[in-house]
Structure 1
């Protein structure tokens, strides 16, 4: 095929230099092409995860834990929510082995079909009243499958996007890959708000909540073909090979450059912690402790997601003007300030809740827009592909996996001051990691 033809893969699954030299170089892969692939891919992944996260608040406490109180049922749902982030690093390790053996396209196809299948599979499962404890087990298994799939969906596009960016525009192009988060949340929240608003409580619990899970599979199929069109292209393969963005064993990365993986994870901790503290947690807290209609909360969050997109665009400009690490450090400091006033906002009725959501989403956009790859540039080219994936996995695990569970638990036991302290610790960890990284770089330059 001309232009988008496939390069034959050797037995090891990686494109050989000889095959790449025969690639059709007339079709040039531009940073804009890569950016479109990144946004489409990440939006579908985040949509799947936010559909589950919103259901953890609105559906699963009653569906899976009917004998527990609303608070305890939500905490139990959040425990299942965290399983995907625990499984994600294992998914990355397995998928790197699959890619080395059978190629990038095979790995990506398996990962996205697993993600979509696990998500739509949840829509067919009955609740505790029908299956008892097995309903909880099956949801947990499918949630683990989502995590394994997300680890396997790493395609190197964000790293290639940053490398391919024009001089002085790396912050801007790196930001584009993060836009999938607010876009995915916007779609998930909008769909849940519509279904919740158009059905009775009985209809919503019987079948309405299942509709977003069905939609997730269709979105994954579209995203798969959009990404495969780019990923299997000869020019794209040539760029990956040229920049040494190829998979290596996860154990090899941790053994050689584990320091960079850990620092990269903690450098992004503030934005990753804030990620679920303005999306999933406030929905649960407001639903349990206030009489504000859930559709109103979702609509405010949808507005916040739009503002987060705008803030992410601004973060690209700021990063290119002042430096990505300076921007990330400044946003971490602002998140620390936000953590001090967030208990007051959430404790002051609907107006305070809305202020928390809007300000939180704007800060999320400014910080999360530059959280990916700020420190992973430290990796040597040979380890960058897998190292960037593992850094993201660890950041999600440490910063976001247990955020809704911990935030709701400490808020219920110690009041909202516990939430503020939790968010403050994330901001301080980011500042410390950036300082340590700068000190290491300075020492290495001596």
Structure 2
């Protein structure tokens, strides 16, 4: 009898332990937000420096426009490297585990960011400084690809069916939060330092801050992902690396559709953050700190848009939501020349409207069609579709937009943004057709 009682007690204790170790979607969301906010802060620090600093510091031998275009070429290197980082670190995870993979990736990200912070300028090191900047940028891209932890996919799988849009948007909040922090810091430095002091040493401080935030994020994310409860839940959901060659053969259509489905959001992403700043700094006498302040306010509009996207998506469906806002992005594209070549009020209107619309669209862009992947492919498939979306939609956007606008006119920027919206609508239409056939 006593044996039965002790067995029952053990079973009760075990069930209580399992109940307490259950992970809620809110806990997963916290992990996603921490990781994405730190990554986006690092991302925007580099992006803003590419506009405000690197043309003068690393390409002083070129005119301002050409210096900015060269800086944007190096800016794109991270997006080119990102899919390779995903593939390399998936192999590391298969051999050494998720914690080792994440530790190495975030360590590489920290080294790359710190390397830029301490990097000698062209005046000190000549062309070698440009080479080192490119290498550190590639390191950032490889690290971002390798830092995929599967938490967004886990969040999507564990969210209540009637609130998937709401939980999907939570991880996207990292983008405006990261921009607000980076933009505010640069605005403060630009407004309080002389141009000479800012270009000599002031620009390095945001990279120091980014490095410090990365260190904190390393411990927070590793502690989260390495916990027994998270590990068990990831295994239960089969969120493990898949063979990339096998997945490429059997899932290439899903990867392509997934990458194109979010193209409108990613194309707009840099056209309201990086491009306006570069265009105004080259062709206007406006105060750069004022433009940054408007963009920080715009990031606040983006937060509102992202939150609203969760509510709208849960009511009307994610694909309907993405399609509707892709159409609005297409409409906005027609007003780029009028607004960006207009008065300060018109430029501000483009920035604020663009950020608000970006929030509505971007809020549901992550993993838009990753449900098409079988569970065994979802972990790797979600990472690669995101990498390709960023590469095609955003990686070259500042370079292409500024180059087209400077040499052919702002109307070509409209066409560039419109093409992203068209690709999104086509991909969503094809995805719906696939679902019907399947």
Q: TM-score, normalised by structure 1?
A: 0.94
1:228 and 2:222 matched: yes
The DSSP-based 3-state class of the residue aligned with 2:20 is coil
Q: Distance in 1 between matches of 2:106 and 2:296?
A: 25
Match of 1:420 among 401, 414, 420: 414
Aligned-pair distance for 1:153? 0.7
Query: 2:237 maps to which residue?
Result: 243
Aligned-pair distance for 1:211? 0.3
Higher normalized helix content (fraction of residues)? 2
Query: 1:56 maps to which residue?
Result: 50
Match of 2:64 among 67, 70, 80: 70
- Equivalent pair of 1:93/1:249 in contact (CA under 8 Å): no
More moved, 111-120 vs 301-310: 111-120
Query: 1:80 maps to which residue?
Result: 74
Aligned-pair distance for 1:390? 0.2
The DSSP-based 3-state class of the residue aligned with 1:412 is helix
Match of 1:433 among 414, 421, 427: 427
Match of 1:321 among 315, 322, 327: 315
Query: 1:167 maps to which residue?
Result: 161
Q: Distance in 2 between matches of 1:24 and 1:200?
A: 59
Q: Distance in 1 between matches of 2:103 and 2:284?
A: 43
Once the two structures are superposed, what CA deviation does each residue of 1:293-334 show, in whole Å capped at 9, x if it has no partner? 000010000000011011100000000000000000001000
Q: Distance in 1 between matches of 2:243 and 2:344?
A: 50
Q: What are the equivalent positions in structure 2 for 1:193-232 lying under 5 Å apart?
A: 193-232=187-226
1:343 and 2:343 matched: no
Query: 2:105 maps to which residue?
Result: 111
Q: Give the aligned CA root-mean-square deviation in angstroms.
A: 1.4
Structure with the greater alpha carbon radius of gyration: 2
Structure 1 unaligned segments of length 5 or more: list them.
1-20
Aligned-pair distance for 1:350? 0.8
- Equivalent pair of 1:122/1:142 in contact (CA under 8 Å): yes
- Equivalent pair of 1:78/1:405 in contact (CA under 8 Å): yes
Query: 2:25 maps to which residue?
Result: 31
Q: Distance in 1 between matches of 2:234 and 2:354?
A: 36
Q: Distance in 2 between matches of 1:25 and 1:242?
A: 15
Query: 1:132 maps to which residue?
Result: 126
Q: Distance in 2 between matches of 1:40 and 1:242?
A: 23
Once the two structures are superposed, what CA deviation does each residue of 1:322-362 show, in whole Å capped at 9, x if it has no partner? 00000000010000000001211101121111001000000
Q: Distance in 2 between matches of 1:352 and 1:302?
A: 17
Q: What are the equivalent positions in structure 2 for 1:392-407 lying under 5 Å apart?
A: 392-407=386-401
Count of residue correspondences: 425
Once the two structures are superposed, what CA deviation does each residue of 1:95-142 show, in whole Å capped at 9, x if it has no partner? 100111111111111111111210111111111111111010000000
Q: Distance in 2 between matches of 1:404 and 1:27?
A: 45
Q: Distance in 2 between matches of 1:193 and 1:27?
A: 44
Match of 2:273 among 269, 279, 298: 279
Q: Distance in 2 between matches of 1:31 and 1:224?
A: 21
1:182 and 2:176 matched: yes
The DSSP-based 3-state class of the residue aligned with 2:174 is helix
Query: 1:410 maps to which residue?
Result: 404
Query: 1:297 maps to which residue?
Result: 291
Q: Distance in 2 between matches of 1:181 and 1:113?
A: 21
Structure 2 unaligned segments of length 5 or more: list them.
1-14
CA gap 1:113/1:24 in 2 versus in 1, 3 angstroms = farther
Q: Distance in 1 between matches of 2:358 and 2:250?
A: 32
Q: Distance in 2 between matches of 1:253 and 1:25?
A: 35
1:94 and 2:83 matched: no
Q: Distance in 2 between matches of 1:250 and 1:414?
A: 41
Match of 1:310 among 286, 292, 304: 304
- Equivalent pair of 1:24/1:234 in contact (CA under 8 Å): no
Q: Distance in 2 between matches of 1:319 and 1:408?
A: 33
Q: Distance in 2 between matches of 1:393 and 1:292?
A: 35
Aligned-pair distance for 1:25? 5.6
Aligned-pair distance for 1:24? 5.9
Query: 2:9 maps to which residue?
Result: none
| Structure 1 consecutive aligned stretches of length 4 or more whose deviation exceeds 4 Å | none
More moved, 117-126 vs 318-327: 117-126
Aligned-pair distance for 1:26? 2.8
